[in-house]
């Protein structure tokens, strides 16, 4: 099974300028690429989960979205980062474009995009993480209490159940995840050293 980071796009990876769809307007947030690299190096697969109601609103087309997505992925590839897949929701119930003006099951906080990804990439939800600048980006954590959520750019740091609210952005979240992974390792190391010393002691007693 794979562990995954589910990442929101606008306001999390790139500056949220409101319905960005041109590559020229796409601006990575400081530390975003570095953060993605950290997650990747920790063994997570990277999955983008993004609401793109601009498509239903008629601000841009699905083709425009895909073009930007491709450009973003190419940039990240040059930095050694692989986005496994970007899932996007083009819908909005009262959108202008009839085709997309539906009540779907993928618009966050709904979990449709996550469920697709989990199935397709055999994801272990219990060891996965959701990150975004809005509460709706961590809705998965409400259903799955062993998943971890990070909500970015908060006024104060707090933790409610399995969701952490932090002041910083994606890089700070990545650093926290990395620190936790190190702590886990030290802990496991300590446990196995203890177990082997018990084993030695038992062996010693027998002789």
Catalytic residue set:
8, 10
Q: Which is nearer to Zn ion, 49 or 76 (CB)?
A: 49
Partner whose footprint covers residue 133, from Zn ion, Mg ion, none (CB < 5 to 8 Å by kind): Mg ion
Is 111 a binder of Zn ion (CB under 5 A)? no
Q: How is residue 36 written in tokens?
A: 């993605």
Q: Is 54 a residue that touches Mg ion (CB under 5 A)?
A: no
x-or-dash pattern for Mg ion, window 127-146, by CB under 5 A?
A: ------x-------------
Q: Which of 7, 48, 92, 106 contacts Zn ion by CB under 5 A?
A: 106
**Residues 97, 60 contacting (CB under 8 angstroms):** no
- Residue from 4, 6, 7, 11 touching Mg ion (CB under 5 A): that is 11
Please tell me whether residue 104 binds Zn ion under the rule CB under 5 A: yes
Sheet with 163-165, strands from edge to edge, namely 83-89, 45-51, 4-7, 129-132, 148-151, 163-165, 158-160
Q: Does 150 bind Mg ion (CB under 5 A)?
A: no
**Nearest Cα to 109, choosing from 145, 151, 139?**
139
69 binds, among Mg ion, Zn ion, none (CB under 5 to 8 A by kind): none
Residue 10 touching Mg ion (CB under 5 A): yes
* Closest residue to Zn ion: CB criterion: 104
Among 4, 6, 8, 174, binds Mg ion (CB under 5 A): 8
**CA distances in angstroms from 44 to 14, 54, 113, listed in the order given:** 20, 29, 18
89 binds Zn ion (CB under 5 A): yes
Residue 55 or 170 with smaller CB distance to Zn ion: 55
Task: Output the six-digit token pair for 131.
Answer: 């990150």
C-alpha to C-alpha distances, 68 to 14, 60, 89, 91, 94, nearest whole angstrom: 12, 11, 15, 18, 25
Q: Given the complex with Mg ion, which of 14 and 124 has the nearer CB atom?
A: 14
Q: Is 13 in the site for Zn ion (CB under 5 A)?
A: no
Cα 84 to its chain centre, rounded Å, is 12
Comparing CA positions, the residue from 77, 73, 110 lying closest to residue 91 is 110
Which residues make up the interface to Zn ion (CB under 5 A)?
89, 91, 104, 106-107
């Amino acid at each position: 099974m794979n562990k995954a980071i589910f990442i929101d796009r606008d306001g999390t990876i790139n500056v949220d300028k409101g319905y960005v769809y041109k590559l020229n307007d796409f601006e990575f947030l400081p530390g975003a690429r570095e953060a993605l690299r950290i997650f990747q190096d920790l063994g997570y697969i990277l999955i983008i989960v993004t609401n793109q109601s601009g498509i239903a609103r008629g601000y841009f087309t699905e083709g425009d979205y895909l073009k930007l997505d491709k450009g973003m992925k190419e940039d990240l590839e040059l930095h050694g980062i692989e986005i496994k897949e970007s899932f996007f929701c083009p819908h909005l119930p009262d959108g202008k474009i009839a085709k997309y003006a539906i009540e779907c099951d993928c618009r966050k906080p709904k979990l449709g995009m996550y469920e697709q990804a989990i199935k397709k990439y055999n994801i272990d939800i219990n060891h996965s993480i959701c990150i975004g600048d809005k509460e709706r980006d961590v809705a998965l954590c409400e259903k799955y209490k062993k998943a971890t959520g990070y909500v970015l750019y908060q006024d104060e740091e707090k933790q409610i159940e399995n969701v952490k609210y932090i002041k910083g952005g994606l890089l700070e979240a990545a650093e926290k995840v990395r620190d936790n992974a190190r702590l886990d390792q030290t802990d496991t190391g300590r446990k196995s050293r203890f177990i082997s010393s018990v084993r030695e002691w038992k062996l010693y007693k027998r002789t």
